[in-house]
Amino acid sequence: MAVLDIRNLIYWYRTRRGAVHAVDNISFKLEQGETIAVVGESGCGKTSTANAILRLLPKNVERYEGEIWFDGQDIMALGNEDFRKQVRWKGISMVLQGALNALNPTVRAGAQVAEPLIVHYDVDRDEAMEQAIAAMKRVGLPQDIARRYPHELSGGMKQRVVIAMALILKPKVVILDEPTSALDVMTQTNIINLLKEMKAAEGLSYIFITHDLGLASDLADHVAIMYAGEIDEIGPADHVFVHPKHPYTGRLLASVPRLRSEDAPEFIPGAPPDLTRPPPGCRFHLRCPVAFEKCGWVAEEFVDRLRLLQATTQGKEGFPRFSEVEARGTQMVVLRADSDSPETLAASFSEFVKSGRETNPFLKSVRSVDAKTKAVAVTLHEGAPPPLIGEEWRAACWLVQEATAHDTIPA
Amino acid sequence: MAAPVPIGLKAALLDAVRTKSGMVGTGMLGFLILLAILVPVFAPYDVIKAWGGTDAWQDNPKLAAPEWSEVFSGGKHLPRTIFLTPAGTPGGFLKFRTTENVSDGKGNWNNFTFLGLKKTFGFQADDFPSEMTVYLNTMFTQAGNLSKPPAISVIFQRPDNKNLTLLDDTPRLSTTDINRFPNTKSNAYAVSQPIKDTPSYKILDNLREWLIANNVTTRAEAYDPQFYVQPEVLLFAQLDRSMLSKSTAHVLKGDYSLRIELVGFENTDDANARGIVFGTVFGLAGTDDARHDLLVGLLWGAPVALAFGTAGALVVVLIQMILGAISGWYGGAVDELVQRAADFYLIIPTLPILILISLLYRPSIVAILFILVAFGIVGSTTKVVRSIVLQVKEEQFIEAARSYGAKKTRILFRYILPRVMPYTFALIALTVPAFIFLEASLSFLGLGDPVLPTWGHTLGLAYNNGALFYGFWWWIVFPVVGIIFATIAFALLGYAFDKVLNPRLREQ
Amino acid sequence: MGVVRHLAKRALFLTITFILAIYATVVIANGGGVIDKLLKDQIQFELRQRYANDQHYRQLPPEKQQEIFNTTYNATIEARGLNEPFVAKSFRYTIDALQFKLGLAINLHTSDGSRDVGAIIFERLPRTLVLFTVANIVAAVFGIWLGLWMARKALSPFDRGLTVLSVTTFIVPPWVYGILFILLFGFTWRIFPTAGWVSAPPPPQGPITDALPPVIAMGMLFGGFFFNSYVRAKYRRIGYAVMLGGLAVAAAWLIMPYDYYKDIEWHMVLPAIAVAFSIFGSWSYTTRNLVLQVMDEDFVFAARAKGLKERDVLNKYVLRAASPPIVTSLALTLVAAWTGAIITETVFNYPGLGQLFFVAISNFDAPVVVGLTTIYALLLVLTVFGLDLTYSLLDPRIKAMRR
Ligand SMILES: Nc1ncnc2c1ncn2[C@@H]1O[C@H](COP(=O)(O)OP(=O)(O)O)[C@@H](O)[C@H]1O
Ligand code: SF4
Ligand SMILES: [Mg+2]
C-alpha cells in the first residue's frame, strides 16, 4: 500500500492580481521505502505542493482541497490540532527549502534538533538532548556541534543538523525541498549520499523536490514532472528519464548539460507562465515546439504571436500585408489591410499559414480564413487541456494520447 | 514564497497608489493641492498680508461661530450680520435734507441745515446680535469759533414703538483739523461696548433712563454700580423685567429703524451714515477675536503646510538617503563618520534648540525650514537606507557590475540609488507630517513665521485667547482638522508605499 | 575579549558624543554669545532705571556719575561672569555641566525660592517622569497587545482597519490631541480638569497611601494581562479575575473622597491619555510588522512544520525574536518623550520638565536649558549604551559579529 496517496490536490493563493494556481489538481502516490522526485522549473509550484501536504498555509489561501491519504487515513479531514499532533514531523517531516535559514539563530543546534521530541512526546530536556546528540551522530556530526549556534556552523553542517532534525521522530515520509541547492558540489554529493544512507537505514520514503534532473535521476525511483502547477508526466524514473513522453520533459532533459556529449544544452525558450492566469488548453503550448491544433490556442495569444512575427519579419516576401490585427472573443482573430482587399489578404494569409506551420506552431491553430466585406476573419481551433493518460507511467499531452493509447513501458 | 516586490520607482508608485489607502491618500492630497492652487485665486496673497491689520476685517462679527452651526442650535435662527448701508447705495439709508436761512431780525442770518437719515431693517433671529456700531461721516464748517459744529442725535426705533435716543453728539474737531476745509469727521459709535469718555458712552445713561421711563427698573436699581446689561440685548429684547439678563431675555422680532438727525449751522453741512448690526454666526468657519474670517486663514494654511512639509521632507530625506547610501556603500571611515554623526544628532535635543533659535531670531518660515534641514542631515532615513544598501550590496547584479569593472561611484548612482528610491518615497511621505507638525508646534508657541496665519499659528492664538475656555470651538477645531487632514493624507500614502515595498505587509 | 573591546569602543564614542552634544547646547543655549549681549544690555538698562530714580546720584557731577555707573556695571558683569570672552566661557560651562555643577538659574526658581538649577530640575522631574512613564507604559502595553492581535488576524478587515487607525493616529503629536481633549473632556463635558498639576487651592492632603489605588489598579490590570499571555487557557481565569479586581479598585478610587493625591492623579489623566493616544499606534504598527516579519522567517515556518502549537510558535519564536527591537524603541521613546513634553506640558500647563524647558528658553535662562539638556543627553547616552550592552551579552549573533 502506498504510504502517501495524494488525490486531486488543489492549492491556490489569493493575491491582488487574482488567484495563483500554484497547485492545480495534482495526484501522485508514494510507496513505502521509495523516493519520488518532483521536478520542475522554479515557480511551478513544487514548494507549494510540499507545504500543502503539511498544511503549512499562509493567510492568503484561496483554495485548499483534495485528499491526502497517509497511512490509510485522509489527513485532509483531520482537524488542525489532530493534524499537528499526528502528522507534522511525527508522520511527515520536511527539510525546508532554504534550510540554512530554518535554524533559529538564537538557539543552540542541539536544542533545535531535540525540540520535536519535547513538543510531541513530552520527553524531558536531558533525555531529548541525548537523543538529539545521537541523531546528530548518525548524520555524521561530532558531539560538540550540539552546543553551537547556527552561525557557527558551515553550510554543510547546518544541512546535516536540519536533516537530523527532520529524522529525529522517525517519520515515515520526509519531504526534501531542494535540500542541496544552496550548497557547493562536493557538499551536495555528501548530502545526497547521506540521504541515501539514512533512507536505507531507517526505511524512509522521500518526496524529493528539485529542479536538478541529475540529482533526481540519482536518487529517485519515480519522477513527477511539474509545469505551471500541474503534473505533466509521472512514472518510473528510468523510463521517464530515458524515453520522455511529454515534450516538456524532453526539453527539460535536453537542457541539462552533459559531460560526455557533443550536444550543447538547449534552453527552453520563453518563461513559465503567470500562474494567476494559466494558459488555457495545455499549459505548455506557448513554449511547446510540437504544439498543434488541439493544444488550446486562443485569439489573444495568436494576436501576440502574429504581431511579434510581423515585427521580426517586417516586409519580407510572402508575409501577408495586414495593418491591423485584433482578437474577437477567444477563437476569432480579425485582420485588416490598408492596401489589399480582404480577398487578397485572405489568400495571402492562407498561403502564409500553410507554409509557416512547421516553423511557427501557433499557425497550426488556424481552422479557417474567411474574407468578409471589410476584413478577414481567422477562426481558430478549439483546444482543451490534455488529460493525464496511462497507468504506471502517465503523461498529459495530446500527442501522447494519439501515439500510445495504452501504457507502454519499453522493455 | 511571497509575491515579488516591485523594484522600479514607477512600478512602486503605481502599485502604492492602487492600494486602498493609497487611493484615499492620493485623493486627500489631490484635494489639498487643488485647494493650494485655488486659494490664491479665491483670497489673493494681499489678503494674507493684511492679516496682521484690522482694517480688512472690521465689518466681520467678532468670535462668530460658523453659520452652519445653527443646525445644532435646536431650530433657533441665529442672527446674521445686518449691514445698514449709507444713503446713496441701493437699499441704504434714506436721507432728507433741507436748509433754512432765518434772520434774527438784526440783519444777521442764521443758516441751518436739517438732515435726517433713516434705515429700517427687519430683525427676525432668535438670538441677540453680538454688537452694533454706527458710523457717521459728518461734513461741516468750523473755522475757529466762528461757527458751531452740528448737533447729532441717533435714535433707535423699536417695533413696539418704545423708541429711545441712543446718543447726542457734536462732533468736535481737534485743533489741528480746524483749519482744513471742508471739515469732515468720521465717528464710529460702538453701541454695544461703549468706551468711557467717548460720546457713545452716553448710551449707557440713555438706556438707564429709558428703562426707568418704561418702568422696567427703579432709578436706584438702574444706577447701581453693579448694574450692567449689554446694550445690544436691551435694544433688541422684549420690554419687561426678563430683559435684564441675557439668559432670560426674549428677542423682540420685527422691524427696527435707526434714525439719525442732524442740525447744522451752515448751509453746507451734510452727513452720511452706515451701521452694522453684527450677527453671532459668520461664514463657513467663523471668526476669531480679531474678526478675521477664519476660512481664509484656514485655506491659506493648506498651501503653506503643503509647501513647508514637502520641501522640508524632500530635502531632508534626500540628504539622509544619500548619506546613508554612501555610508553603506563605501563603508570604512566614511561609514564610521556618518554613524557617529547619527549618534550625535540623536543626543542633541533638537526641539528645544529650535525653539531657542526661533525665540532669538524670529526667523521667517523659509529660515525655519533651513534650520530644520540643518538639524536633519543624518537621522532615521540614513539608518534605513544604510541597511538597505548593505543588503543590496550583496546581490548578484552588483557583483556582476563590479566584476566587469564598473566604478564604485557609477554603481552607486546607477544601481544602488535607484533601488533605494522607492523606500525613500515612503520615507518622504512619512516625514512630511513631522515637518508640518514641527512648524505647527513652533507657530503654536508663537514662534513661527510672524506674518503667515498657518494652522499652528491660528491654533496658538486660539489657545492663548482662551478659545478652549469660552468654547469657541470653531477656532480650535478647524485648524486641528486641517493639520490632521493634511498629515493623514501623507501618512496613508506612506503606509501604502510601505505596504507595497514590504511584502509582509502586503494585501496579497 | 571581543565584546569587552566593542563595548569599550562604544563607551568611548558615546562619551565623546555626549561631550560634543553638551558643548553644542552650551553654545546654542547662549545664542553663541548673543544672549550675553542681551543680558549686558539688560543690566545696563536696569542700572539706568535705578539711577534715574536716585536723587543722590542725580546731584553728582556727570564725570562722577559716569564713574559710579561704570564701576557698578562692571562689577555686575563680573559677578554674572559676562566679562569673559564667550569661547573661554563656553568651555568652562561645558566642563561644569559635565561635572553636574549646574549652577544658578538667572531668574527661574523653585516654589520655595531656590535658584539652584539642580533643585529646579529635581522639583519637576518626578512630575514628568510619572506622567510620561505611565502614559508610555499604558500605550506600549495596549499597543503591543493590539499589534499581536492584528498580526494574528493579519490582512483581515479588522487588521486593515486597525492598521490604518494606528498609522494615522501616531502621526499626530500629543499636544494636538491634548487641545481636542481639553475642549471635549475639559470644557464641554467637564469631566477632567483642564490645566495644571493640582487645583488651586489644593484640596486637603491625606496620607501618601491615598495615592496608591490607581497604581494598584493599573498594576492589577497589567499583571493579569501579562499573566494571561503566558499561561495556558485554563489558568486564564485567574488573570481575568485579577483584571476585574483592578477595575474594582479603579472604581473604588473614583468614589473615594477628592483629596490632594486624587486631585493630582485626576489632573494627570487627560495629558496621559493624550500622550498614550498619540503613541499607541506606533507600538501596534511596529509590533504587527515585526511579528509578521518574524513569522515569515524560515525558522518560524520550520517551527510550525515541526508541529509546535501556534501559541508556542508565537511565544517561543516570534516574540523572542521580535522583542529586542521592541524593547529598543520602548527605551528610546521613553527618553525622547522628555523633549516631546515641551509643547504637551505647555498645552496642559503641567509644571513638569517640558514646561520648564519652554519657560527657561523663553526667559533666556541658559543655565537651566543647559542643565536640562545635560541630564537629558546623559539619560539618552546611558539608554543607548545600556541597549548595546544588553545585546552584546544576550544575542549570540551580535556576539559573533564582534569577534
Ligand atoms: N504566499 C504566497 N502568496 C502568493 N503567491 C505565492 C505564495 N507562495 C508562492 N507563491 C507563488 O506560487 C507560485 C509557486 O511557487 P512555489 O511553490 O514556491 O514554486 P517552486 O517551489 O516550484 O519554485 C509562484 O508563482 C509563487 O510566486
Ligand atoms: S499537448 Fe502536448 S503537444 Fe500540445 S502543447 Fe501540450 S505538450 Fe505540446
Ligand atoms: Mg521552491
Bond from prior residue into A320 cis (ω within 30 degrees of 0): no
Q: Do B508 and A47 touch (CB under 8 A)?
A: no
What is the number of the ligand 2 atom nearest to the C-alpha of A398? 1
Three-state DSSP string of C339-373:
HHHHHHHHHCCCCCHHHHHHHHHHCCCHHHHHHHH
Contacts with C, A 42-71, CB within 8 Å: 54, 56, 59-60
Contact B505 C376 (CB under 8 A): no
Helix (H) or strand (E) holding A103: none
Strand, coil or helix: what is B415? Answer: helix
Please tell me whether residue C150 adopts helix, strand or coil conformation: helix
Question: Rounded mean pLDDT of C46-66?
Answer: 83
- Hey, which bits of C125-279 come out as E strands? none
Write the residue in C167, C188, C346 that is nearest to B445 by C-beta: C346
How far apart are alpha carbons C339 and C195 in whole angstroms?
19
Ligand 2 neighbour A225 (Cβ under 6 A): no
Whether A47 and B1 lie within 8 Å, measured CB to CB:
yes
Expressed in angstroms, the distance from the first to the final Cα of chain C is 8
Kindly give the number of the ligand 1 atom that is closest to the alpha carbon of B4: 27
Question: Under DSSP, is residue A223 helix (H, G, I), strand (E, B) or coil?
Answer: strand
The stretch B497-502 carries a mean pLDDT of: 79
Are A2 and A166 in contact, with CB atoms under 8 Å apart?
no
Of B349, B469, B502, the CB nearest to C339: B349
Q: Where are the alpha helices (DSSP H) in B331-349?
A: 332-347
Residue of the nearest CA to atom 3 in ligand 2?
A: A291
Residue B348: pLDDT band (50, 70, 90) is confident
Give the residue, C81 or B115, on which the prediction is more confident.
Answer: B115
Q: In this complex, do C306 and A106 lie within 8 Å of one another by their Cβ atoms?
A: no
Query: Ligand 3 center to residue A97 CA distance, Å?
Result: 6
**Closest C-alpha residue for ligand 2 atom 8:** A291
Q: Are strands A61-70 and A2-15 parallel, antiparallel or unpaired?
A: antiparallel
| Cross-chain residue pair A101–C297, CB shorter than 8 Å | yes
The one-letter amino acid code at C90 reads S
Of the partner residues B348, B504, B508, the one whose CB lies closest to the CB of residue C289: B504
Q: Does B161 touch chain A (CB under 8 A)?
A: no
Distance of alpha carbon C46 from its chain centroid, rounded?
A: 37
Provide the CATH number for the domain formed by A297-380 in this structure. Answer: 3.30.1360
Alpha-carbon distances of C129 from A171, C123, C259, rounded to whole Å: 57, 11, 22
State in Å: Cα A317 to ligand 3 middle.
47
Q: Three-state SS for C236?
A: helix
B507 inside 8 A of chain A by CB:
yes
A16 CA to centre of ligand 1 in angstroms:
14
A411 CA distance to ligand 2 centroid (A)? 26
Cα angle C176, C181, C187 (rounded to 5 degrees) comes to 130
Domains parsed from chain B with CATH numbers: 9-43+294-506 (1.10.3720), 61-278 (no CATH)
What are the strands, taking DSSP E only, across B213-313?
254-264, 270-278
Give the alpha-carbon dihedral of B428, B429, B432, B434, to 10 degrees. Answer: -90
Q: Under an 8 A CB cutoff, do A56 and C297 touch?
A: no
Q: Which residues of B touch C362 (CB under 8 A)?
A: 359
- DSSP class per residue in B474-502: HHHHHHHHHHHHHHHHHHHHHHHHHHHHS
> Residue A269 has what pLDDT?
80
Cα Rg, chain A, nearest whole Å: 26
- Chain B residues with CB under 8 Å of C94 CB are none
CB atoms within 10 A of CB A404: 14
pLDDT tens digits, C284-307: 998 898 888 888 888 888 998 998
Q: Is any Cβ of chain B less than 8 angstroms from the Cβ of C289?
A: yes
- A47 CB near a chain B CB, below 8 Å? yes
Pair A376, A369: CB distance under 8 Å: yes
C317 touching chain A per CB within 8 A: yes
Residue B152 contacts by C-beta under 8 Å, 6 or more apart in sequence? B136, B138, B168, B169, B170, B171, B260, B261, B262, B271
Inter-CA distances, A303 with A117, A326, A334, A353, A380, Å = 59, 6, 9, 14, 11
User: Does residue A291 line the site of ligand 2, with CB under 6 A?
Assistant: yes
Residue B1 contacts A where some CB pair is shorter than 8 Å? yes
In terms of pLDDT, which residue wins out, B174 or A182? A182
Q: Do A15 and B1 touch (CB under 8 A)?
A: no
Cα distance between residue C253 and residue C72, in whole Å: 59
pLDDT over 80 (residue C392): no
Cell numbers representing residue C238 in the block: 485567574
Residue-wise pLDDT for B320-333, tens only, equals 999 999 998 888 89
**Coil, strand or helix: which one is B5?**
coil
Under DSSP, is residue C326 helix (H, G, I), strand (E, B) or coil? Answer: helix
Q: What are phi and psi of A328, to 5 degrees?
A: -120, 105
Whole-number Å distance, alpha carbon B508 to ligand 1 midpoint, is: 12
Contact (CB, 8 A) for B60 and B276: no
Q: Any CB–CB contact under 8 A between A85 and chain C?
A: yes
A-chain residues near C400 (CB < 8 A): 149, 151-152
Q: Are C57 and C69 in contact (CB under 8 A)?
A: no
User: Among the residues of C256-308, which ranges form H helices?
Assistant: 260-295, 298-305
Is a pLDDT exceeding 90 seen at residue C320? Answer: no
Let me know: does B117 contact B94? Beta carbons within 8 Å: yes
Which ligand minimizes its atom distance to the CA of A232? 2
Nearest to A8 by CA among A65, A47, A69: A65
The Cα–Cα gap between C338 and A43 comes to 51
Does the domain made of A4-91+171-254 have the CATH classification 3.40.640.10? no
Work out the angle between the directed axes of helices B380-393 and B294-330 (0-180°, nearest 10).
Answer: 40
Q: Return the SS3 of C60.
A: coil
Cβ-based contacts of C319 with chain A (< 8 Å): none
Query: 3-class DSSP state for residue B313?
Result: helix
Cell 435684564, residue located? B244
Residue B1's pLDDT band (cuts 50, 70, 90) = very low
Nearest ligand, CA A40: 1
Q: What is the mean pLDDT of chain B?
A: 84
| Domain residue ranges in chain A | 4-91+171-254, 297-380
CB nearest to A103's CB, from C155, C299, C304? C299
Mean pLDDT of B246-262: 92
Amino acid at C333: T
Q: Which atom of ligand 1 is nearest to the CA of A47?
A: 21
Chain A neighbors of C299, CB-CB under 8 A: 101-105
Say if CB C354 and CB C342 are below 8 A apart: yes
* A130 CA to centre of ligand 1 in angstroms: 38
Cα(C124)–Cα(C351) distance, rounded to whole angstroms?
7
Local structure of residue A346 (DSSP, 8 states): H
Q: pLDDT exceeding 70 applies to what percent of chain B?
A: 93
Residue B501 CA to ligand 1 centre (angstroms): 18
Single-letter amino acid code for the residue at B28 = M
Q: Half-sphere exposure (CA, 13 Å, Cβ side) for A51?
A: 21
Residues of chain A with C-beta less than 8 angstroms from the C-beta of C397: 105-106, 149, 151
Query: Does A29 lie at the interface with B, CB-CB under 8 angstroms?
Result: no
Closest CA to A165 of A99, A84, A75, A210: A99
Q: Write the residue in C301, C309, C312 that is nearest to A56 by C-beta.
A: C301
Q: What angle, rounded to 10 degrees, do the helices at B473-501 and C157-170 form? A: 120
With CA atoms as reference, the chain B residue closest to C332 would be: B346
Instruction: Output the CA–CA distances (angstroms, integers) from residue C178 to A19, A362, C275, in the order listed.
Output: 46, 70, 8
pLDDT at A410: 46
| pLDDT of B507 | 47
Q: How many angstroms is it from A160 CA to the middle of ligand 3?
A: 20
Q: What is the pLDDT of residue C360?
A: 87
pLDDT in tens for each of the 411 residues of chain A? 789 999 999 999 998 788 999 999 999 999 999 999 999 998 899 999 999 999 999 888 999 999 999 988 999 999 999 999 999 999 999 998 876 788 888 788 999 999 999 989 989 999 999 999 999 999 999 989 999 988 888 888 999 999 999 999 999 999 999 998 878 888 889 999 999 999 999 889 999 999 888 889 989 999 999 999 999 999 999 999 988 999 999 988 888 776 666 667 777 888 889 999 999 999 999 899 888 888 989 998 899 888 888 888 766 777 888 888 888 888 899 988 887 788 888 888 898 888 888 888 889 999 989 888 888 999 999 989 999 888 889 999 998 865 554 444 443
Choose among B348, B352, B508: nearest Cβ to C21. B348
- DSSP string of C79-110? HTT-SS-HHHHHHHHHHHHHTT---B-SS---
| A132 Cβ neighbours under 8 A, 6+ residues apart | A110, A111, A113, A114, A117, A146, A164, A168
Instruction: Return the H-helix or E-strand segment holding B58.
Output: none
pLDDT tens-digit readout, C254-286? 888 888 888 888 899 999 999 999 989 988 998
Residue nearest to atom 5 of ligand 2 (CA): A285
Percentage with pLDDT > 90 across chain C: 15
Q: Say whether pLDDT at B181 is over 60.
A: no
User: In this complex, is the C-beta atom of A42 within 8 Å of any C-beta atom belonging to chain B?
Assistant: no
- Please tell me if the CB atom of residue A51 comes closer than 6 angstroms to any atom of ligand 1: no
Give residue-wise pLDDT tens across range B114-167.
999 999 999 999 999 998 888 888 887 766 556 678 888 999 999 999 998 888
Candidates A292, A305, A400: which one to mutate for ligand 2, based on the most atoms within 8 Å of Cβ? A292
Give residue-wise pLDDT tens across range B397-409: 777 777 777 788 8
Q: Is the CB of B504 under 6 A from ligand 1?
A: no
* C-interface mutation test, from A106, A122, A151, A165, most C Cβ less than 10 A away: A106
Which helix (H) or strand (E) covers residue A159, if one does?
helix A155-167
pLDDT at B8 over 70: no
Chain C residue nearest residue A103, CA to CA: C299
